[in-house]
Amino acid sequence: MTPSASEQIDRWLEKFFAHLRNERNLAKRTRDTYAQQLEGVAQQLNLNSWSELTALHIRELLNDARRKRLSPASIALKLSALRTFCQYLLLQGELSTNPTTGIQAPKKGRPLPKQLHVDEMSQLLDFDPGDDVLGIRDKAMLELTYSCGLRLAELTGLNLDNLNQDKSLLRVIGKGNKERLLPVGRVARQAVQAWLRVRPELAPADERALFVSKQRQRITSRQIAQRMQHWASRQGLNQPLNPHKLRHSFATHVLESSGDLRGVQELLGHANLTTTQVYTHLDFQHLAQVYDKAHPRAKKTPREQ
């Protein structure tokens, strides 16, 4: 029995999603994004098979997105999903050419990541948790995130065996199941060792997770975000705080001190140097502010002020 047109369309999508999961090891959230974009395209287009897909279809999809006033970022995401899917179909022989070739996404301004200044970071981390088990745990999470530039998913996924014996090295599994080995700074190492001494008060004997919650199980991303915001408020930081802001702060501060872009790329686990280069803009902003304040020819006259 010959499969219907809709069955053929869906079958290629299922193969592609399996490819993303099994061969490219993409995270579930990323796979879900691809599925949302491509399933919407399949419903919008009236195709008998993906082999009929042309550049005209692609342009019509993007024009329709513009008419609906989708943001440039949303349109770029749709085109990126289509481009990757079409490249897969091309390799599988379902397409003879990639219809997305030469089609450009609308330009979008790339927002610079937000970070804490060094003084603000010291203000956040300068607290003594005393005998409070949750405070000791939270200090260890904050110090480790800032010391190693961890992503939120990397922090929640840490197990006891990710640390070496003297807690000076941390093995992290990042995006795409890529592993990297990170040095742990002295202060972060001390905070982690303090947490490990009291960890049995919360963690069952068979629990592998490095950080656990009051529920005696691996702490969740949401719980981490809530605890970090709690300490930001308690320490008098008048701004939202999340794990990614600590990661941005780590990258910016290391780059400002070292100027080693390649080194920062390795520490962050970025696949492409262009992803890391955004931090050079932050560094330039800092230098420009210093220049404007210090250079005699840069200072504004009273009329300009």
Average pLDDT across each block of 10 residues of the chain; the chain has 305 residues. List them in order.
69 94 89 92 89 92 89 88 94 93 74 72 93 96 91 92 91 83 91 96 95 95 94 89 84 72 70 54 46 50 47
Contact by Cβ (8 Å): 282, 115: yes
pLDDT number for residue 257: 67
Q: Can you tell me the distance from the alpha carbon of 211 to that of 213, in angstroms, rounded to the nearest whole number? A: 7
| Residue 269, both tokens | 């686990």
Q: Can you tell me the distance from the alpha carbon of 61 to that of 65, in angstroms, rounded to the nearest whole number? A: 6
Residue 12, Cα to own-chain centre: how many angstroms?
29
For residue 183, what are the β-bridge partners?
169
pTM of the model: 0.56
Catalytic positions are 151, 175, 244, 247, 270, 279
Q: Can you tell me the distance from the alpha carbon of 223 to that of 141, in angstroms, rounded to the nearest whole number? A: 12
| Residue 198, both tokens | 């009291």
Instruction: Give the length of the chain.
Output: 305
